[in-house]
Amino acid sequence: MPIPTVRQLLHDALDAVLPQRCVVCGRFGAALHLDCRASLPRAQPPRCERCWSPGDRLLCDSCVTSAPAYAGLRAGYCFTGPVRRAILEAKFRGMTTLLPPLAAEAALSVPSAWAVDLVVPIPLHPNRQRQRGYNQAAIAAREVARVLGVPYGEPLRRVRATPAQAGLDALQRQRNIRGAFAAISGPGAPVVASFAGSVVLLVDDVSTTGATFAEVARALLDAGVARVYALSMARED
C-alpha cells in the first residue's frame, strides 16, 4: 500500500471540510455531477477494432501492418475538454475522486466477448509512485474490476523509470517504454503463475499510440498469459 504524500493528505483533509466543485460545470456538490458525466465526449465507433483509432475500417493500416501485442483496445472518452481537465486534475492534483466514475463508464465499453479473467493496472515506477502517493491507473482498474465482477491483480512491476510519453511521436514512445516492465516472479509472487493461460484486461488513464499497453502486454504474454486486452478511461486521437 503506497504511503500518501503530504499533498495527498492535505487534499483529502480539504475534501472532508470543503464542498466539492464539479470539474465540468463548476457547481458545488460533487467532483463530477451525474448529468455532467453524461455530457462528456465519448470515444464512439467507427474505430479500429484493435487499437481504437478513428476510422471506418475494421482494422487500421497500422494494425494490419504491425499488430500490437494486445488483442483489442477500448476507451470510454475522448481526451479533450473537460475529460482532459478531469484526468489531469486526478493525476497531478490529487483529485482521485474523479477516477472511479470515469473508470466505471469506461468499463461499460468492454465487450463481453473478451471474457476477461483479471484486471491489471499499468504500474508506475516505485519512485514516481512514492512521489505522487498513488497510482491513478490502479484506482481506475479497481473500479473497472468491480464493474466487470472480475478479480483485480498487480502481477507486474516497472523495472525502469522512463521520461513521460507526452510530446513523443509513435516511434519515440515505443523506444522510450521498451523493456520498462516485467512480471513479478520468484518466491512470494504467485500471481502470474495463478493466471497463466488467462485473459487479462490492462487499464490506464489515457492511451494515444498504445505503445505502453503493447509493451506491458508483451511482458504478460511472455509470462504465460493467454491474451491481453486494454482499456483506457480516455483516448487521445
Let me know if residue 177 belongs to a domain. yes
Let me know if residue 87 belongs to a domain. yes
Let me know if residue 11 belongs to a domain. no
CA-to-CA distance for 165 and 118, rounded, in angstroms? 26
Question: What pLDDT is recorded for position 135?
Answer: 94
Question: What pLDDT is recorded for position 4?
Answer: 54
Question: What pLDDT is recorded for position 189?
Answer: 46
DSSP state letter for 98: G
Place of cell 493525476: 91
**pLDDT digit of tens for each residue in the chain (237 aa)?**
445 555 555 555 445 445 688 888 888 878 888 888 889 999 999 999 999 999 999 999 999 999 999 999 999 999 999 999 999 999 888 889 999 999 999 999 999 999 999 999 999 888 888 888 999 999 999 999 999 999 999 888 776 666 566 666 666 766 666 766 777 654 444 455 567 789 999 999 999 989 999 999 998 998 889 999 999 999 998
Task: For residue 111, give its domain range.
Answer: 41-235
CA-to-CA distance for 132 and 129, rounded, in angstroms? 5
Let me know if residue 1 belongs to a domain. no
Question: What pLDDT is recorded for position 164?
Answer: 66
Question: What pLDDT is recorded for position 177?
Answer: 67
At residue 232, φ and ψ (nearest 5 deg) are -120, 150
Let me know if residue 9 belongs to a domain. no
Cα 119 to the chain's mean position, in Å?
Answer: 10
**Rg of the chain over all Cα atoms, to the nearest angstrom:** 17
CATH of residue 126's domain is: 3.40.50.2020
pTM greater than the 0.85 cutoff? no
CA-to-CA distance for 214 and 177, rounded, in angstroms? 10
Residue 3 Cα distances to 99, 134, 135, 206, angstroms: 19, 8, 11, 24
3-state secondary structure at position 16: helix
Domain count of the fold of the chain: 1
Q: Bin 167: left if φ > 0, else alpha if -120 < ψ < 50, else beta.
A: left
Let me know if residue 36 belongs to a domain. no
